[in-house]
Structure 1
Amino acid sequence: MIVNEKIKAAEVLLTGVNGEDLGIVSTKEALKMAKELKVDLVCLSLSSSPPPCKLVDQTSHKKQLNQEKQKERKTEKGMKTKEIRLSAYIEEHDYDTKKRQAERILTSGDAVELVVRLEKKESQAAKELIEQLVRDLKHCGMQDKGIQVSGKQVVAIVKPL
């Protein structure tokens, strides 16, 4: 981003601190206005002539740049998959707690892997539990693939909407 004296254009299309349109102004005059108001003159784009520039408060400008960097970092990271373990015969209050935990993870943008560890012959109860939990989480996530029943566990992955 080009700021203050680094702007080389002879004229700029100037926008004020509060978003008001100040029209086409010489760069020297725009810099003078910026110094008087104790703000920065920021060039928004070099693709047009005259380049659009804005008078921006220094603290808000830095804050905006930091927010943009944080968003970029978050999109670079991508989505994580977090595991929630359950038992086939879970009590209602424990079920509600796990459901709220899954909702919180899904709304933050991460996927949830629901895992029920099996003991003895409880695969049908585990599958029904996961189906119910997926139905309850429909408002904030959707199931990816199907429910996988392997020898020792039942697994379903729910991705955020």
Structure 2
Amino acid sequence: MGARAPFSCPRAGRAPQTARGGSISTEPRINDRIRVPEVRLVGPNGEQVGIVPIAKALQLAQDADLDLVEVAPMARPPVAKLMDFGKFKYESAMKERESRRNQAHTIIKEMKLRPKIDPHDYETKKGHVVRFLKAGDKVKITIMFRGREQSRPELGFRLLQRLATDVQELGFVESSPKQDGRNMVMVLGPHKKKAEAMAEAKAARAARDDAGADPGVDAAAPATADAGAEQA
């Protein structure tokens, strides 16, 4: 691996500055942009090197063909880590893109129940929750209290606990039960990401289409048997 230029700071690693339009860059300082006498150095694999003079930290980075990146500027002394900053920025951008894509696809469904719901209605409502979670959607469960029911919040709490237990293979409690005015609310999150659920649903539809599109020889067999019976 060729040696890096003597800590000529890449464009991505410039010190925080006012950009066009007045916004402030939030990118960390790297290499010779770190202007402090010493840093608490962290190695490329997360190992603690200790407090070292900035000159030594820069030399270690250059020897390893890595960048020195200030990861905790407010610490005393600041914390800096040896890493490939270009690779780090690329991986961070990919993770952020994946996170935005999942957030854009995630839909919050809502299901409303009464604290004294009858067994049949409960199973129906639970079925809807199961379907939503399988599709990769979050579900907001609302228990609606009326009249004297408001003095029995434990009824709603137990019902929410029961529902969370019944669907725990498909989802988890993202927001624990809490009072919201006259109601009690809980949010369930799916174990599957929306993109995964959509891909599985698409594959299942394709499999069903393939199965129904090619009846093959099986459909012709009964006709052959009938023809033989008529000849007899």
Scaled by the length of structure 1, what TM-score is found?
Answer: 0.51
1:40-51 map, 5 Å: none
Following the alignment from structure 1 to structure 2, what is the Cα–Cα distance between the partners of residues 150 and 93? 26
What amino acid does structure 2 have at the position aligned with 1:155? Answer: V
Following the alignment from structure 1 to structure 2, what is the Cα–Cα distance between the partners of residues 125 and 112? 20
Tell me, yes or no, if structure 1 residue 143 matches structure 2 residue 170: no
- Against the structure 1 CA distance between its residues 76 and 118, is the aligned structure 2 distance closer, same or farther, given a 3 Å change threshold? closer
Following the alignment from structure 2 to structure 1, what is the Cα–Cα distance between the partners of residues 158 and 113? 12
Q: Which of residues 130, 134, 156 is equivalent to 1:103?
A: 130
Corresponding residue of 1:49: none
Deviations 1:42-64 (A, max 9, x none): xxxxxxxxxxxxxxxxxxxxxxx
Q: Which of residues 135, 152, 156 is equivalent to 2:182?
A: 152
- Against the structure 1 CA distance between its residues 76 and 125, is the aligned structure 2 distance closer, same or farther, given a 3 Å change threshold? closer
What amino acid does structure 1 have at the position aligned with 2:128? Answer: Q
Secondary structure of 1:96's counterpart equals helix
- Against the structure 1 CA distance between its residues 149 and 75, is the aligned structure 2 distance closer, same or farther, given a 3 Å change threshold? closer
What amino acid does structure 1 have at the position aligned with 2:185? Answer: V
Following the alignment from structure 2 to structure 1, what is the Cα–Cα distance between the partners of residues 112 and 134? 19
Q: Whose strand fraction is larger, Structure 1's or Structure 2's?
A: 1
Scaled by the length of structure 2, what TM-score is found?
Answer: 0.36
Following the alignment from structure 1 to structure 2, what is the Cα–Cα distance between the partners of residues 104 and 153? 24
Secondary structure of 2:143's counterpart equals strand
Q: Whose helix fraction is larger, Structure 1's or Structure 2's?
A: 2
Following the alignment from structure 1 to structure 2, what is the Cα–Cα distance between the partners of residues 116 and 132? 13
Deviations 1:26-53 (A, max 9, x none): xxxxxxxxxxxxxxxxxxxxxxxxxxxx
Deviations 1:131-156 (A, max 9, x none): 10011010100001311123300100
Following the alignment from structure 1 to structure 2, what is the Cα–Cα distance between the partners of residues 110 and 134? 15
Secondary structure of 2:176's counterpart equals strand
Q: Percent same amino acid at aligned positions? A: 25
Following the alignment from structure 2 to structure 1, what is the Cα–Cα distance between the partners of residues 108 and 115? 21
- Against the structure 1 CA distance between its residues 76 and 141, is the aligned structure 2 distance closer, same or farther, given a 3 Å change threshold? closer
8 Å Cα contact 1:141/1:159 also seen in 2: yes
Give the number of aligned pairs.
88
Secondary structure of 2:168's counterpart equals coil
Secondary structure of 1:88's counterpart equals coil
| Residue segments in structure 1 that go unaligned for 5+ positions in a row | 1-73
1:3-82 map, 5 Å: 75=102, 77-82=104-109
Deviation at 1:75, TM superposition (A): 4.8
Secondary structure of 2:154's counterpart equals helix
Following the alignment from structure 2 to structure 1, what is the Cα–Cα distance between the partners of residues 154 and 180? 12
- Against the structure 1 CA distance between its residues 75 and 151, is the aligned structure 2 distance closer, same or farther, given a 3 Å change threshold? closer
Tell me, yes or no, if structure 1 residue 128 matches structure 2 residue 158: yes
**Which structure has the larger Rg over C-alpha atoms?**
2
Deviation at 1:122, TM superposition (A): 2.9
1 or 2 for the larger relative contact order (CA 8 Å, sep ≥6)?
A: 1
- Against the structure 1 CA distance between its residues 77 and 150, is the aligned structure 2 distance closer, same or farther, given a 3 Å change threshold? closer
Corresponding residue of 1:42: none
8 Å Cα contact 1:88/1:122 also seen in 2: no
